[in-house]
């Protein structure tokens, strides 16, 4: 009987459909495979771009920068898994170790910043169903990160305290926006959530950069993240979502005030005219309601599990 290959470039047996692996976990007989993106958003060659600020005495408006960087994919299962919640805890550990290891490699290669992100479902911009994450290394600190760092830095300058640590402390004391808590992590729906069921995972101990995490901490984070996604999937029958990890720039310039964190952004509503026009977000679900629903799912699941 001839085996009919599944038309998926990320399944084992179809390795030839992606560029050669950069990294394999745990070995050649891989569970997690890191490859360069075949269709990269950025390319790793630097061509100095020096556009004249003025030409013939008039300001030069149409400035450009080259799309320089590196773009990698982390394929999270050798079988055709479609959700992070389908992965075993061992494979999940490899995924989060790969996040850390690739961050270290991108740092060593001299890039300024690396963005880890995951797109799940067509509404979240994913074209391939097979569970995967992406990393893009960039030569500059991107605009969203610069804004977050600016807020953290001015808070530090004013109070000599960490904005993120104070936020975690006050949210834990209050409790109504807390979704989950473990020994080292907290998941909460932010006070000014942009999207329904937006949830952030923050470490309880100060750490500016995710790539300094130990295997033990990454394992806890992996399990914690999987539990959070499982709740979201039980509530909404596998919705589209993005998650991303914000980690301080590699040069250490924000290490004193920044805290790495994971932002989970479910795609339950669409940004529309008002959002594009104003930069404000209409969010029909309060973060307190969202946290309440995500917490309740957990309680029921635990109760059901105990009954069986
Ligand atoms: Zn597949
Ligand atoms: Zn952030």
Q: Are strands 32-36 and 23-25 parallel, antiparallel or unpaired?
A: antiparallel
For residues 275 and 90, what is the distance between their CA atoms, to the nearest angstrom?
Answer: 41
The number of the ligand nearest the C-alpha atom of 12 reads 1
- What does the pLDDT read at residue 53? 57
The number of the ligand nearest the C-alpha atom of 6 reads 1
| 74 neighbors 18 (Cβ within 8 angstroms) | no
| Tens digit of each residue's pLDDT (9 = 90 or more) over 197-248 | 999 999 999 999 999 999 999 999 999 999 999 999 999 988 999 999 999 9
- What does the pLDDT read at residue 52? 56
Query: Distance, CA 264 to ligand 2 centroid (Å)?
Result: 10
- What does the pLDDT read at residue 59? 79
Q: Which helix (H) or strand (E) holds 95?
A: helix 89-108
For residues 20 and 18, what is the distance between their CA atoms, to the nearest angstrom?
Answer: 6
Query: Distance, CA 7 to ligand 1 centroid (Å)?
Result: 8
Closest CA to 136 of 113, 119, 110: 113
The number of the ligand nearest the C-alpha atom of 164 reads 2
Model pTM greater than 0.85?
yes
Tell me how many degrees the CA angle 288-262-180 measures, rounded to the nearest 5. 45
What proportion of the chain, given as a percentage, has pLDDT over 70? 91
- What does the pLDDT read at residue 140? 92
Query: Distance, CA 74 to ligand 1 centroid (Å)?
Result: 13
Quick one: pLDDT band at residue 304, thresholds 50, 70, 90? very low
- What does the pLDDT read at residue 54? 60
Whether pLDDT at 307 is above 50: no
The secondary structure of residue 21, as a DSSP letter, is P
The whole-number average pLDDT for the span 26-33 is: 97
| Tens digit of each residue's pLDDT (9 = 90 or more) over 79-130 | 999 999 999 999 999 999 999 999 999 999 999 999 999 999 999 999 899 9
Query: Distance, CA 14 to ligand 1 centroid (Å)?
Result: 9
Query: Distance, CA 8 to ligand 1 centroid (Å)?
Result: 5
| Tens digit of each residue's pLDDT (9 = 90 or more) over 181-202 | 999 999 999 999 999 999 999 9
The number of the ligand nearest the C-alpha atom of 259 reads 2
Q: Which helix (H) or strand (E) holds 59?
A: strand 58-59
Query: Distance, CA 51 to ligand 2 centroid (Å)?
Result: 32
For residues 129, 36, 263, 296, the Cα torsion angle rounded to the nearest 10 degrees is 30
For residues 108, 111, 113, 117, the Cα torsion angle rounded to the nearest 10 degrees is -80
**What are the φ/ψ torsions at residue 156 (nearest 5 degrees)?**
-65, -45
Q: Which of 39-48, 107-116, 136-145 has the lowest mean pLDDT?
A: 39-48
The residue ranking higher by pLDDT, 282 or 6, is 282
Query: Distance, CA 81 to ligand 1 centroid (Å)?
Result: 7
The number of the ligand nearest the C-alpha atom of 117 reads 2
């Amino acid at each position: 009987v001839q085996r009919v290959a599944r038309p998926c470039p990320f399944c084992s047996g179809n390795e030839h459909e992606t560029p050669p692996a950069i990294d394999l976990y745990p070995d050649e007989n891989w569970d997690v495979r890191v490859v360069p993106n075949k269709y990269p958003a950025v390319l790793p060659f630097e061509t100095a771009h020096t556009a004249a600020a003025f030409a013939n005495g008039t300001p030069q408006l149409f400035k450009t920068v080259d799309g320089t960087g590196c773009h990698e994919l982390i394929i999270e299962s050798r079988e055709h898994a479609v959700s992070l919640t389908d992965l075993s805890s061992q494979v999940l550990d490899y995924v989060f170790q790969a996040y850390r290891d690739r961050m270290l490699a991108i740092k060593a290669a001299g890039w300024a910043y690396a963005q880890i992100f995951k797109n799940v479902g067509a509404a979240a911009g994913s074209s391939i169903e097979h569970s995967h994450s992406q990393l893009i290394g960039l030569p500059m600190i991107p605009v969203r990160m610069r804004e977050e760092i600016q807020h953290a830095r001015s808070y530090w300058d004013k109070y000599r305290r960490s904005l993120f640590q104070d936020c975690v402390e006050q949210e834990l004391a209050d409790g109504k926006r807390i979704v989950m808590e473990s020994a080292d992590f907290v998941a909460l729906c932010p006070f000014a959530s942009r999207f329904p069921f937006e949830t952030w995972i923050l470490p309880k101990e100060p750490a500016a950069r995710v790539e300094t995490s130990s295997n033990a901490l990454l394992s806890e984070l992996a399990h914690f993240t999987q539990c959070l996604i499982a709740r979201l999937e039980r509530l909404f029958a596998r919705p589209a979502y993005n998650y991303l990890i914000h980690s301080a720039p590699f040069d250490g310039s924000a290490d004193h005030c920044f805290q790495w964190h994971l932002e989970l952004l479910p795609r339950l509503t669409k940004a529309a005219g008002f959002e594009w026009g104003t930069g404000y977000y209409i969010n029909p679900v309060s973060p307190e309601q969202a946290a309440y629903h995500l917490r309740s799912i957990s309680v029921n699941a635990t109760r059901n599990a105990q009954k069986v």
